[in-house]
Chains A and B, each alone.
Chain A
Amino acid sequence: GAGVSQTPSNKVTEKGKYVELRCDPISGHTALYWYRQSLGQGPEFLIYFQGTGAADDSGLPNDRFFAVRPEGSVSTLKIQRTERGDSAVYLCASSLRLAGGPTDYNEQFFGPGTRLTVL
């Protein structure tokens, strides 16, 4: 399909392990976002890429979290030394970054998410 895809859909790991979560955005979308959604909450911003560079990583909770987008398309969210508190659904979204005014909004298209469970 032409939507945002994320793999794996589910990931179960043990405390202390390293995990990688992958996001394939919609072709041609230059903007890419990662969010984390805990049960009963709305998505929480983690990081924003414009092209290959991380333009805003202010939402990453600590230095165990890192994300890359080396060719400006696929992105990988990496979590080192996982903790039980990292358990959540990790969502990826992409959009066309178009110039616009303060009330213009470029729709973000979300993937289905990766459910991460840290035992």
Chain B
Amino acid sequence: KAGVTQTPRYLIKTRGQQVTLSCSPISGHRSVSWYQQTPGQGLQFLFEYFSETQRNKGNFPGRFSGRQFSNSRSEMNVSTLELGDSALYLCASSLKGANYEQYFGPGTRLTVT
């Protein structure tokens, strides 16, 4: 069974631009969660989508948004990028939901200059 895939793997953007990251979950998984990882901060939860509905949201500004499609693929968008948005963005899928075992993709490394 294929794992979670994320595209692109690396991205360099400038301040003020917007970016869209993509995630394809494990086949059959309807829950997709997004996390931001920065050095020393662990994994900060952004939001979870389940069957195309956002079920849960972390403490991030409205510049961070997402959506999920009928095939469970998910996208995350960050508008008006700031230097502090530079991070590894991880997507995770789960069969039952965000408070069960989640299986992570390799992440997208975003650098904002």
State yes or no: do A and B come from one complex.
no
Where the two chains meet, the residues of B that have a C-beta atom closer than 8 Å to any C-beta of A are none
Where the two chains meet, the residues of A that have a C-beta atom closer than 8 Å to any C-beta of B are none
